[in-house]
Amino acid sequence: MAVRADLFESPDHYQLDELLSEEHLMVRNAVRDYVKKEISPIIEDYAQRAEFPIQIVKQLGDLGVFGPTVPTEYGGGGLDYISYGLMMQELERGDSGVRSTASVQGSLVMFPIYAYGNEAQKKKYLPKLASGEWLGCFGLTEPDHGSNPSGMLTNIKDAGDHVILNGAKMWISNSPFADIAVVWAKNEEGKIQGIIVERGMEGFTTPTTHGKWSLRASATGELVFDNVKVPKENILPNVIGLKGPLGCLSKARYGIAWGALGAAMDCYDTALRYSKERIQFDKPIGAFQLQQKKLAEMVTEITKAQLMVWRLGVLMNEGRATPAQISMAKRNSCEIATNIARAARQMLGGMGITGEYSVMRHMMNLESVITYEGTHDIHLLITGMEITGFNAFK
């Protein structure tokens, strides 16, 4: 398939780059250059074939996007949350599945080991995950428990120096290729605990999920546990309860708030470029008011969202961001990105449905992004509960 040169230029209508430090700009430009060089030329083909480009795992490790906020002594980047956000923005500008790989590895696998693990677990797993030598996945969702993970059935039973793990997780990013899985399961008291399951443990399988029209360049699968013997030393000792996995989700949702914006920027930039080149009725289509309305609305929404995620990044750096603030940003970025992708696709006319441009791939990917890490409805209900004090989930 012919792939167009990646000419992306980031919209910055309010000179928001002035809010970024030298280090932020360096980090952003390094990831942007990587995406232009290594992701844009290949990703459409992989998505069309529904194949995960496994070689990017090591590349992403070398680039430093796995666990950027984890301290350097464990192989992380020791960077702040704005740098982390910018990395996710640039990766998702290339493809949501690429950002997904980084989100899962950094926020959902390395973060819980760093925050809830003991020293031996941190030393054993974090450096290899940071470098991309090992790939991890995060098992929370089950076939019958998606938005309501507290009802999970996956369980561990005490058996001396190990536990016996039974159950199944579904919709797990990276599972078919993962070397380890951070799995959330109920103990015999019904309390949720995190446990690290390694590929090769008897009774542990990771069937691939086929037939997706979204995130086609990301591998999704199940985690099936049939009487798996897991050493007790693999249990994360420092957290009990749903706040464990939800704490990880706060980090990952923050990354998605920036990431979805990256996809929106790419769609806007593509539509803007196309509107100046495509001639109909003897004029570039960008000279027609209807197309200008679409572009003007896109850049307005992108600018509002850029301000929101930047401010959220500042609050994250200060340790003051609340889960509800993160939910609002994740929800807003997903909503504007989904709308922008759809409008951009229409602006490209028939060309918009082909793989020659990135917009249809972004549009389909964003259907997953608006669903995982908490659906659009769930994030609205989190905001609703925060402002009214009433719980409308149950």
Q: Which is nearer to ligand FAD, 19 or 385 (CB)?
A: 385
Q: From CA 182, how far away is CA 195, in angstroms rounded? A: 6
Tell me if 229 sits within 8 A of 195, measured CB to CB: no
Work out whether 383 is an interface residue with ligand FAD (CB under 6 A).
Answer: no
CA dist 374 and 254 (Å) reads 12
- Which one, 89 or 220, has the nearer CB to ligand FAD? 220
d(CA 115, CA 92): 26
Does 147 interact with ligand FAD (rule: CB under 6 A)? yes
> Alpha-carbon distance 376 to 93, whole Å?
21
Find, among 319, 317, 261, the residue nearest to 21 by Cα: 317
Question: Helix-strand-coil percent breakdown of the chain, rounded to 5?
Answer: 55, 15, 30
> Which of ligand TGC, ligand FAD, none is residue 241 near (CB under 5 to 8 Å by kind)?
ligand TGC
Question: How far is Cα 199 from Cα 233, in angstroms, rounded to an integer?
Answer: 16
Strands 136-139, 155-159: pairing kind: unpaired
Q: Is 173 an interacting residue with respect to ligand FAD (CB under 6 A)?
A: yes
String of contacts with ligand FAD for each residue 211-240, x by CB under 6 A: ----x----x--------------------
Instruction: Give residues with Cβ within 8 angstroms of 346, minimum separation 6.
Output: 294, 352
3-state secondary structure of 224: strand
How many residues bind ligand FAD (CB under 6 A)? The answer is: 22
**378 part of the interface to ligand FAD, by CB under 6 A:** yes
| Partner touching 180 among ligand FAD, ligand TGC, none, CB below 5 to 8 Å by kind | none
3-state secondary structure of 180: strand
CB nearer ligand TGC, residue 174 or residue 291: 174
| C-alpha–C-alpha distance, residues 222 and 142, integer Å | 9
If residue 197 lies in a helix (H) or strand (E), which one and from where to where? strand 192-198
| Site pattern 70..109 for ligand FAD (x: CB under 6 A) | ----------------------------------x-----
Tokens for 141, please give them.
């969702």
- Binders of ligand FAD in range 337-376 (CB under 6 A): 368, 371-375
Contact 392, 385 (CB under 8 A): yes
Output the smallest distance, CB 384 to ligand FAD, in A: 10
Does the footprint of ligand FAD cover residue 134 (CB under 6 A)?
A: no
Residues that bind ligand TGC (CB under 6 A): 100, 103-104, 138, 140-141, 147, 149-150, 173, 241-243, 246-247, 249-250, 252, 323, 372-374, 378, 382, 393
Select the span of 37-45, 70-78, 136-144, 278-286 touching ligand FAD (CB under 6 A). Answer: 136-144
Interacting residue with ligand FAD among 34, 52, 134, 171 (CB under 6 A) = 171
Q: How far is CA 300 from the centre of its chain?
A: 24
Q: Which residue has the tokens 């719980």?
A: 391
Tell me whether residue 44 is one of the annotated catalytic residues: no
Stretch that binds ligand FAD, among 62-70, 132-140, 228-236, 382-390 (CB under 6 A): 132-140
DSSP letter for 142, please.
B
Q: In angstroms, give the least distance from the CB of 367 to ligand FAD.
A: 8
**Residue 260 interacting partner from ligand FAD, ligand TGC, none (CB closer than 5 to 8 Å by kind):** none
**Closer to ligand FAD by Cβ: residue 93 or 169:** 169
- Shortest gap between Cβ of 382 and ligand TGC (angstroms)? 5
Catalytic residues: 373
